[in-house]
Structures are given as structure tokens and as C-alpha cells.
Amino acid sequence: MNCSIFPDNCGELEPNADIAGIGVSFIPSNLCTLADEFLAQVYVSFIASACITLVAISLKFVSHQRTKYPDRMVAQWIEDLDKYNAFIPPTSIAKRFALGWWVGRPPLEVPVEPSREMIFLYKNMRRPLAEALDNSLLSLIIGLADQQAVVALAILIAAAIEWETISAYHFNLVASLAWFSSFTHALTLMSLMQWMKRSMFLLCLRLSLFAAVFVMYLWAQAVARDYSSPSGSPYKAACPAHCCLSDGWSEFSGIFTIISLLRVGSLSLMVLLIAWRLLNDWCQNSWLRSTAENNKKFHNIVAVGICTALLVAVFGGITGVAFIRDTDSYNGLKVSQAFQDQNLWGFGQITPMILLILPLIGAIEGFVDERKKQRDEQNKQENEENNKTDEENKRQNVPLVTLPELSVNLGETGQISVGQLQHLLRAETR
């Protein structure tokens, strides 16, 4: 399109089912009574992917922590929860940092005791189940990480190919979806850092994949223009995206871009994660002494802060994508009569939803295999214990051999030779 007619004669907004189709964008409005009308249509496959990822990462965090503690230790904590009520937190932040961690106490030699809520959660999760979940969820999270990276790359490459024809409305939607997929991918990488450190090749491969997504996302955010704000000339959303480059960033778009880059940047997330682990190890060092209670507080504060930030960011992204897609928020935007064709089911709409099943199948198979291994190991241990018990019983039930009565005539000298004694024994045993 010739950009000389921009922005007055851009025409009507045409449908693009591969980006905004019903297969990834329909929820009945009666399920959104607590939200505005624009929340009636949101991206199901992306929401499902984010929710599955959050649940998987949360379960892996809990199950991985649970595997560190034997069942007897958890049972002891359940009986001794009153000791947490006796803890009085410091009244000032200075005391907490200056006197709370760096005090002359013996180094921490036992696992850090979790919070009250985590103990109650551990009570209902036995260690074998936690180990099976921890191992099986790894394959699920790996599958989700790969899927999110591929989805983000695919949608960004498709938008780049259609750069000359794609509308600003759909391209801005692409940028938001790319942020959403990239952020979800970053979440999975956070939970896979320990696993990836086992192999430098896997670490470099996945970081390179994320770097490619991140670079493409930077380009999308740099050229995207947001017209969903009433003050941002919403009618321009129907114009080709490359024609909108003459418009500068709006205030909302600029702030959103900066926040998005900070949230999705893998370096910021990973540096935060690695710094937390280094600080945790530092606090447990013998020369920088720590108490179990303060170390527990440190774990809980950091974990709750990270989880809260991730939840707010992810669900904030869902809300942002839903708002950008809602055409009712674009005052003055002309929509073609065929625009409703986006709500037709097609191959490109069903495929993203079907692909969500693949990581779940892998996780279920992994869980079943882990439980089978545990049962086989348990049966093997029981058989070994039964064999040891049988051998012990056989030793205890061995009949005692009674020696025959033997009368020996020592004669006048009172002595008998060894040969004579052997001859007498053989004669008696016959």
C-alpha cells in the first residue's frame, strides 16, 4: 500500500484468522462477570499455556523442596509448629539486615525449615509422590519451554514476512503475543537452570533459542504502534504497520514497551535467580553465619516476592492482550463485514490447542514411569529384606550336633595319645 494516503484512506480492518482467530480467542462473556466487556474474548491457547506453565512450575517447586525432607522430619515439624509462634521479627529493617543474618552463631548444618504453610502442604505429599512429580514435571516444563519459543518465533516470522500488508492492529497483537510467549519461556528457563547446567550444550542451545526470540521481540516492539488508547487515533489501527512508523510512540506504548522489555529480558530474570542462589549460599557460609530461622525468613520473603511478581506480570499480560484485541476499544475504527470470519474454526485455529496436549502426554508418561520404577525398587528392597530374614531364620534354626558319650581309660600314666583318641572317636561314631 502507498503510505502517501496514510492515515486518512487506510480502508477497513480486514480479518487475519491466523493471528486473531477463534481457535485461540474465545471465552463466553458470561464467564467474565467480574471484568469489563473486553475480557469476553481472550486467547484460550495462550491462557491455557500460561496456566499450565504456572501450575507445572509451582508443583515442581513444591515437589522439589519436599524431596529434601524425609517423612519423619516433616512429621516432627507437624508436631512442633508452635515454635514458629515464638519468633518475634525485628522491629527495624536495619536490625534485620545488620543483626539478623550476620550474627556469630554456628553454621547451618540441617535443611532450612520451611514455613508453616509449606509444612501443611508437605503433610499431604509423601516423599515418593514428590520425587515422581519432580522428575515427571521436568519433561512437561521442557515441552512447554520449546513450544513457547517456537510459537513466539513462528508468529514473529510470519509478521515479518507480511510486514508490507499486515495492519497495525494485528501487528500490535503479534507484539503482545510475542511478549506473552517470551515471558512464559523465561519462566520455564528459570525452573530449568539446574537441569541445563548439567550440560553446557543444552544450556547454550536453549539460551540461543531464547536470544533469537528476544531479538525478534525487540524488533517487534520497536516498530509496533499502539492505537488502542482513545487519545492515540484508534482509526489508524486499520493502516499497514509499516506506514505507522512515522508516528512516534505514544506515552502508553512507550511505558508498556519499557516494562515489557524489563519483564521478558532473560538476563534480568536469570541474574535475579542466580544472585538469589549465590546470596543464599553466602548466608550459609561458615564465616558468614546464619540462624535457621533467619534463613527461613530469607527464603520465604524472596520466594513470595518472585511468585507475586510473576503472577502479576503473566495475568497482566493476559489482560493486555485481551484489551488490544477488542475492536470496541478502537473508537472510529472501520471494520469490514468479513471481519467476523476470524471466528470461524479452521486448521490454524485448532492446531495450537491440540499442541497443548503433547507436553501433558509426556508428563503423564513420565509420572507413570517414575511410579513404576519406585514400585520396582520397593519390591526389590522387600525381596532383599525377606531373603535376609530367611537366612537369619535358617541360622537360628540349625540343630545342634550332640557328641557321643566317650569313656577313656587313661591307664596308669594318666595320658593318652592323639592317635589313640582319634581311634576311640571313630569307633564310637560307627
The stretches of 197-291 forming alpha helices (DSSP H) are 200-223, 251-264, 266-283
Contact (CB, 8 A) for 173 and 19 = yes
Return mean pLDDT, the chain: 64
Q: Which of 38-47, 51-60, 263-272, 380-389 has the highest mean pLDDT?
A: 380-389
Angle of helix 168-196 relative to helix 292-325, nearest 10 degrees?
160
Which of 55-69, 107-121, 271-285, 290-304 is most confident?
Answer: 55-69
Per-residue pLDDT at 283: 52
**Residue 135: inside a domain:** yes
Measuring CA to CA, how many Å separate 371 from each of 96, 126, 131, 139, 360?
44, 13, 9, 15, 17
| Cell digits of residue 163 | 510486514
Report whether pLDDT(409) > 70.
Answer: no
What is the per-residue pLDDT for 186? Answer: 73
**171 within domain boundaries:** yes
d(CA 74, CA 62): 14
Q: How many helices (H) and strands (E) does the chain have?
A: 15, 0
Of the candidate ranges 27-41, 224-238, 324-338, 362-376, the one whose mean pLDDT is the lowest: 27-41
What is the rounded distance in angstroms from the CA atom of residue 420 to the CA atom of residue 424? Answer: 6
Query: Which residue did the predictor score with more confidence, 178 or 355?
Result: 178
Q: pLDDT (tens digit, 9 = 90+) per residue, 108-130?
A: 333 444 555 555 555 666 777 77
Work out the pLDDT band at 84, boundaries 50, 70, 90.
very low
Q: Is 425 helix (H, G, I), strand (E, B) or coil?
A: helix
The burial of 269, by beta-carbon neighbours within 10 Å (0-12 exposed, 13-18 middle, 19 or more buried), is given as: buried
Q: Give the pLDDT confidence score for residue 277 in this predicted structure.
A: 57
Q: d(Cα 301, Cα 298) in Å, to the nearest integer?
A: 5
Identify the pLDDT of residue 90. Answer: 41
**Does the pLDDT of residue 387 top 80, yes or no?**
yes
Say if residue 99's pLDDT is above 50.
no
Q: Is the dihedral of CA 157, 163, 166, 172 positive or negative?
A: positive
What average pLDDT score do residues 343-351 get?
Answer: 60
Give domain status of residue 417, yes or no: no
The segment with the largest mean pLDDT, out of 196-205, 207-216, 311-320, 418-427, is 207-216
- For residue range 3-13, what is the model confidence (pLDDT) as tens digits? 776 667 777 77
| Residues linked to residue 240 through DSSP beta bridges, in sequence order | 167
- Please write down the HEC assignment for all residues of 127-165: HHHHHHHHHHHHHHHHHHHHHHHHHHHHHHHHHHHCCCC
Q: Would residue 385 count as lying in a domain?
A: no
Q: Evaluate whether 236 touches 168 at the Cβ level (below 8 Å).
A: yes
Q: Looking at the domain assignment, is residue 383 inside a domain?
A: no
| pLDDT confidence bin for 428, thresholds 50/70/90 | low
Give pLDDT, residue 87: 44
Kindly give, in sequence order, each residue whose CB lies less than 8 Å from that of residue 289, ignoring residues fewer than 6 positions away: 102, 103, 104, 105, 106, 107
Q: Is the pLDDT of residue 427 over 70?
A: no
Q: What is the pLDDT of residue 110?
A: 39
Q: Using one digit for the tens of pLDDT, what is the confidence trace for 147-177?
A: 778 878 888 888 888 888 888 878 877 877 7
Residue 209 resides in a domain: yes
Alpha-carbon span 23 to 144, nearest angstrom: 19
Higher pLDDT, 260 or 359: 359
Return the higher-pLDDT residue of 331 and 109.
331
| Cell numbers that stand for 190 in this block | 528459570
> Residue 268 has what DSSP assignment?
H
Cα–Cα distance measured from residue 9 to residue 5, given in angstroms and rounded to the nearest whole number: 6
Write out the residue range of the structural domain in which residue 245 sits.
17-377
Using DSSP, state whether 81 is helix, strand or coil. coil
Angle, CA 231 vertex, CA 228 and CA 237 arms, to 5°: 40
Q: Does the pLDDT at position 39 exceed 60?
A: no
| Exposed e or buried b per residue across 106-135, where buried means at least 16 C-beta atoms within 10 angstroms of its C-beta | eebeeebbbeeebbeebeebebbbbbbbbb
The average pLDDT across 295-311 equals 56
Confidence of residue 92 (pLDDT cuts 50, 70, 90): very low
Share of the chain above pLDDT 70, in %: 40
User: Is residue 69 one of the residues assigned to a domain?
Assistant: yes
Mean pLDDT (whole number) for 324-331: 63
Average pLDDT over every residue of 96-117: 41
Residue 44 pLDDT class (50, 70, 90 cuts) = low
Tell me the CA distances in angstroms from 387 to 375, 392, 393, one per residue in order: 18, 9, 10
Q: What is the pLDDT of residue 25?
A: 42
Q: What is the mean pLDDT of residues 185-192?
A: 72
- pLDDT for 17-33, tens place per residue? 566 555 444 433 333 33
Answer with the residue of higher pLDDT: 342 or 237: 237
pLDDT at 321: 61
Res 425: pLDDT: 64
Tell me, what DSSP letter sits at residue 97? I
Q: What is the pLDDT of residue 111?
A: 44
Residue with cell 527495624: 92
Predicted local confidence at residue 391, as pLDDT? 80
Q: How many domains does the chain have?
A: 1
Residue 250, in any domain of the structure: yes
Please state the separation of Cα 345 from the chain's center in Å.
31
- Separation CA 380–CA 127 (nearest Å): 18
